[in-house]
Structure 1
Amino acid sequence: MSRIQCPRCLRPQTHCLCPLIPSLDSRTRVLLLQHPSEVNHALNTARLAAQGLKNAELIVGEVFEDLPALLNQPGYQARLLFPGEEAQPMQTYTANDEPLLLVVPDGTWRKARKMLHLNPLLAALPRVTLAEGGVSRYRLRKAPGPGALSTVEAIVQALQTLESPVSFEPLLKPFEALIEGQIAAMGEETYQKNHGR
Structure 2
Amino acid sequence: MSRYCSQCGKSLKACICQWIQSLTSNVELVILQHHSETDRPMGTARILKLSLANSYCFVGEDFSNNEQLNQLLNDGQHQHFVLYPGEGSITHNEVAEQVANQQKVRVILLDGTWKKAYKMWQLSTNLHKLPLVRLPDDLQGNYRIRKAPSDNSLSTVEAGYHILSLLEPETDFMPLIDAFNQMIEFQIKQMPPGVFEKNYLS
Q: TM-score, normalised to structure 2's length?
A: 0.90
Deviation beyond 3 Å, 4+ runs, structure 1: 92-95
Cα distance in 2 between the residues matched to 1:131 and 1:188: 36
- Pick one of 171, 186, 189 that aligns with 1:166: 171
1:195 maps onto 2:197 in alignment = no
Match of 2:149 in 1: 144
Aligned to 1:46: 45
Output the aligned Cα RMSD.
Answer: 1.8
**% same residue:** 37
Query: Contact 1:71–1:101 (CA<8 Å) still a contact in 2?
Result: no
3-state SS of the aligned residue for 2:170? Answer: coil
- The Cα of 1:189 is off from its aligned counterpart by 1.8
C-alpha displacement of 1:74: 4.3
6-15 vs 125-134, which deviates more?
6-15
Q: How does 1:41-190 map to 2 (within 5 A)?
A: 41-64=40-63, 65=65, 66=67, 67-91=69-93, 92-93=96-97, 95-190=100-195
Q: Once the two structures are superposed, what CA deviation does each residue of 1:56-105 show, in whole Å capped at 9, x if it has no partner? A: 01111122222321212343200000011211110234632413210111
Q: Quote how far apart the aligned CAs of 1:173 are.
A: 2.2
| Partners of 1:182 and 1:166 in 2: CA distance | 29
CA deviation profile, 1:23-57 (whole Å, cap 9, x unmatched): 11101010001010000011121111111112101
Q: Is the 8 A contact 2:33 2:57 kept in 1?
A: yes
> Is 40-49 or 69-78 further displaced after alignment?
69-78
SS of equivalent to 2:82: strand
Residue identity matched to 1:82: Y
* 1:177 Cα offset (Å): 1.6
Residues 116-135 of structure 1 deviation map (CA, whole Å, 9 limit, x = unaligned): 22211112210001011111
Q: Distance in 1 between matches of 2:168 and 2:56?
A: 19
Shift of 1:171: 1.0
Where structure 1 has 5 or more consecutive residues not aligned to the other structure, the ranges are none
State the match for 2:14 in structure 1.
15
Cα shift at 1:143 = 2.0
Match of 1:32 in 2: 31
Q: Give SS of 1:101's match.
A: strand
Unpaired runs of at least 5, structure 2: none
One-letter code of the match for 2:45? A
| Count of aligned pairs between the two proteins | 196
